């Protein structure tokens, strides 16, 4: 029985012999393989979740320009220090089940981490780690503060205290709006103390915005 195919697309650059070997076992994989040979433009023109590279072919690739996980397949007796270039290294012959599982997990982990990072002005909001980053400075913030900043960044207009209270922080309708003011004041102080920025969160008569 063939494994269920997930929506994971993997680019493969390999020698002719390795490609034939992969062809014989690819039905056991939970991802879809795309043979791109030496057409490296396809790596940027198409959406791939990762790239698998075999033998010495990595020397021909502009690896620094490839912003997806890179998986290297080493020959049985091959010894290379490629840890700085590749997220995952496998040795041939492959354990099919382990190879399949680890490729899928690597792609999912990369996609999760990528989706958790949001560029806001000159800052990076890391939703996964609950961090606000700017240059080499990092500020730990709460989940409530993450949701607040993310919402302000998503909307084109200022958000009122009542909207923030009910729709972002899910407080009950009888909660005082001063609660919002207190939370936001503390967040603005943390940002000012850590980054020296007093204008990250703006406050006008219409509400709060970035």
pLDDT digit string, tens, across residues 177-202: 788 899 999 999 999 999 999 999 99
Strands 50-54 and 9-13: parallel
* Tens digit of each residue's pLDDT (9 = 90 or more) over 160-175: 988 898 888 877 666 6
Alpha-helix residue ranges (DSSP H) falling in the chain: 16-25, 42-45, 96-115, 143-154, 161-163, 178-195
Q: Phi and psi dihedrals of 3, rounded to 5?
A: -75, 150
User: Is residue 25 within 8 Å of residue 32, measured between CB atoms?
Assistant: no
Instruction: List domains and CATH numbers for the chain.
Output: 9-115 (3.40.50.2300), 117-209 (1.10.10.10)
* Tens digit of each residue's pLDDT (9 = 90 or more) over 64-109: 667 788 888 887 666 655 555 667 888 877 889 999 999 999 998 8
User: Is residue 204 within 8 Å of residue 158, measured between CB atoms?
Assistant: yes
Mean pLDDT for the stretch of residues 50-65: 72
Rounded mean pLDDT of the chain?
84
**What was the pLDDT predicted at 6?**
56
Using the CB atoms, write b or e for 112-127: b if 16+ within 10 Å.
eeeeeeeeeeebebbe
User: Is residue 175 within 8 Å of residue 165, measured between CB atoms?
Assistant: yes
């Amino acid at each position: 029985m063939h494994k269920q195919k997930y929506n994971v697309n993997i680019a493969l650059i390999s020698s002719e012999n390795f490609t034939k070997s992969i062809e014989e076992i690819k039905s056991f994989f939970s991802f879809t393989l795309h043979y791109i040979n030496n057409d490296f433009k396809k790596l940027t023109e198409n959406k791939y979740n990762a790239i698998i590279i075999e033998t010495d072919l990595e020397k021909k690739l502009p690896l620094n320009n490839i912003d997806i996980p890179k998986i290297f397949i080493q020959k049985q007796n091959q010894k290379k220090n490629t840890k700085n270039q590749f997220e995952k290294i496998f040795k041939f012959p492959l354990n099919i089940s382990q190879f399949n599982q680890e490729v899928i997990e690597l792609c999912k982990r990369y996609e999760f981490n990528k989706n958790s990072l949001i560029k806001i002005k000159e800052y990076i909001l890391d939703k996964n780690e609950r961090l606000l980053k700017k240059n080499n400075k990092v500020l730990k913030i709460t989940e409530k503060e993450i949701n607040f900043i993310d919402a302000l960044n998503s909307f084109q207009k200022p958000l009122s205290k009542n909207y923030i209270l009910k729709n972002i922080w899910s407080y009950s309708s009888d909660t005082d709006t001063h609660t919002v003011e207190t939370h936001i004041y503390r967040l603005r102080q943390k940002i000012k103390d850590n980054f020296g920025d007093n204008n990250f969160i703006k406050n006008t008569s219409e509400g709060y915005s970035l």
